[in-house]
Structure 1
Amino acid sequence: MKPPPRLQSLVEEGLIDTVVRQLMSGKEAMVFVVRCGDETRCAKIYKEANNRSFRQAVDYTENRKVKNSRSARAMAKGSRFGRQEQEAAWQSAEVDALYRLAAAGVRVPPPYNFHEGVLLMELVTDAHGDAAPRLNDVAFTPEDARAHHSTLIAEVVRMLCAGVVHGDLSEFNILLAHTPGEGDEAGRDGPVIIDLPQAVDAAGNNHAPRMLLRDVANLRDFFGQFAPELLATQYGPEIWSLYQTGLLTNDTPLTGRFTPQKHDVDLSSVMREIDDARAEDAARRLRMTV
């Protein structure tokens, strides 16, 4: 197919050879299948802020670092330059998170390049070499549901140990990969986590605990449809409690049980959780229509 304008410069730079087809158009980006030499990869083109349905909520951008003080001041003022810098920071957040998580061994698509608002990364495939399905498009046996849930809880822990909380993790942004082969190649089968522009720093964002709990609850609720016993687990509070006390490692055994300490109820926090739950439900419904 004819390369879209945003990909034409990558063709001219020799970063990609041909554009095969459009894979999807989501809330913050369009994704194309491209050829790079003998390899098939995907190119994620970030949409401009005014064309996105996912707004850059302050909860996600809190304490994100920018390259210099001039940019920070402009972003705070909301000037045209500031909006451009904010957009660049939003796009680079996913790139930074992918490199960071790939280095930590998290199951994410390895990134290859980021050029003029286009992210080149591995194409996650199924057994036939086609683009892998999202979890919400797959039905699972109870055994598979338990296995994939366990894998993803371990990935959430690995991400947190690397200092990252996904912030929007659900069945809509996890792919089910299958790579034919043996050894290391076969080991890539299973869930792969995608869509990280809203990832937050676990230690630097005050909303990280709430986002981590929501991410884990989304996994519980989805896989609980196929393995109902998962609905009674409390991995989120357990994981965050271990992280807060410095006891969480990639190999920390988890039980899925948690007994909270008694304390006075913070009514304002409760109301915020209710509002966030409503907003999350609305966002999930919107994703289902994309």
Structure 2
Amino acid sequence: MKVPQRLKPLVEEGLVDEVLSQLMSGKEATVYVVRSGDSIRCAKVYKDAKQRSFKNAVSYTEGRKVKNSRQARAMEKGTRYGRQMQEELWQNAEVDALFRLANAGVRVPQPYICTDGVLLMELVTDAEGDVAPRLNDVELTPERARECHAYLINQVVRMLCAGIIHGDLSEYNILMAADGPVIIDLPQAVDAAGNNEARPMLLRDVQNLAVYFGQFAPELLATDFGKEIWKLYEAGELTPEYALTGQFEADTTPVDMAGLMHEIEETRREQEALLRRLQERQD
């Protein structure tokens, strides 16, 4: 096929030898199947902010680090330079997440390079060597559904142990490869420790898995892995090897209001004393 404009720099630099076909076009990017030497890979061409339809992007980018204060100020003001930095941050988030997750043992496509808004990465294939189908296009037996659900819950745990939450996990961004489910589409990946909405996003990702696989194995609808996982994460006890139960019991211990109010009052007094000392030094 004719080389798309955005892929021409990769062809000129020898990173891509041939564009074979367009694989898909979604809300964030258009993906092409390409040949690089003897390897068949895919090239993900990111759409710019005006073309993207991904909603509530600010919720996902909270906690992401920028290189310096100038970039941070520009992004806050929404200047042209700031918008450019925001775009780079959005695109680099997926590359960074892919490398971190691959190193943590999470099954994601292997990334190779990201340049000029194009991510070159592994083409995920099925047992016949064809492009792997999305999970929502695969019929599952109850037993296979339970196996895939258990595997993906472990993948969610591994992601969280690496400090990352997918943020948009569903049957539409999981591929069924020859070696099992592969998680894709990570530009909205969330920093678990730096994002105030990390917990609800994790719970939603886990709930999406329960709802989908619950079509084939209804007992999965009664599980509550999300809250169990988050409780262990907050307590510093979560590991990929932890034997999850899928059950969660909320802490119903009454709050010690008297003790809490005492701590607040002590903190207030300490702050007042500090301010007095500072004032005395200035006088």
Correspondence for 2:242: 252
Count of residues in Structure 1 that have an aligned counterpart in Structure 2: 254
User: Cα distance, 1:149 vs. partner?
Assistant: 0.2
Within 2, Cα distance between the matches of 1:171 and 1:260?
29
Correspondence for 1:148: 148
| Structure 1: stretches of 5+ with no match in the other structure | 179-188, 265-290
Give the partner amino acid of 1:26: G
Correspondence for 1:118: 118
Correspondence for 1:275: none
Within 1, Cα distance between the matches of 2:52 and 2:252?
42
User: Cα distance, 1:240 vs. partner?
Assistant: 0.5
User: Cα distance, 1:59 vs. partner?
Assistant: 1.1
Superimposed CA distance per residue, residues 67-88 of structure 1 (whole angstroms, 9 cap, x where no aligned partner): 2211110000011111111111
TM-score, normalised on structure 2? 0.88
Give the partner amino acid of 2:167: G
* Paired residues for 1:191-270 under 5 Å: 191-262=181-252
Within 2, Cα distance between the matches of 1:149 and 1:62?
29
Give the partner amino acid of 2:222: A
Give the partner amino acid of 1:147: E
What SS does the corresponding residue of 2:50 show, helix, strand or coil?
helix
Correspondence for 2:270: none
CA root-mean-square deviation:
1.1
Correspondence for 1:134: 134
The 3 A distance-change label for structure 1 pair 262 and 71 is: same
Within 1, Cα distance between the matches of 2:193 and 2:76?
22
What SS does the corresponding residue of 1:222 show, helix, strand or coil?
helix
Superimposed CA distance per residue, residues 87-138 of structure 1 (whole angstroms, 9 cap, x where no aligned partner): 1111111011001101111010010111111001100011221111111111
Give me the identity figure in percent. 70
Within 2, Cα distance between the matches of 1:263 and 1:25?
50
| Structure 2: stretches of 5+ with no match in the other structure | 255-283
Within 2, Cα distance between the matches of 1:36 and 1:230?
42
Correspondence for 2:12: 12
User: Cα distance, 1:58 vs. partner?
Assistant: 1.7
Correspondence for 1:99: 99
User: Cα distance, 1:57 vs. partner?
Assistant: 2.2
Q: Which has the larger radius of gyration?
A: 2
Superimposed CA distance per residue, residues 213-240 of structure 1 (whole angstroms, 9 cap, x where no aligned partner): 0000000000000000000000000000
Correspondence for 1:32: 32
User: Cα distance, 1:262 vs. partner?
Assistant: 3.2
What SS does the corresponding residue of 1:84 show, helix, strand or coil?
helix
Within 2, Cα distance between the matches of 1:7 and 1:194?
21
The 3 A distance-change label for structure 1 pair 89 and 263 is: farther
What SS does the corresponding residue of 2:130 show, helix, strand or coil?
coil
Give the partner amino acid of 1:27: K
Within 2, Cα distance between the matches of 1:47 and 1:208?
25
TM-score, normalised on structure 1? 0.86
Which segments of structure 1 move beyond 6 Å, counting only runs of 4 or more? none
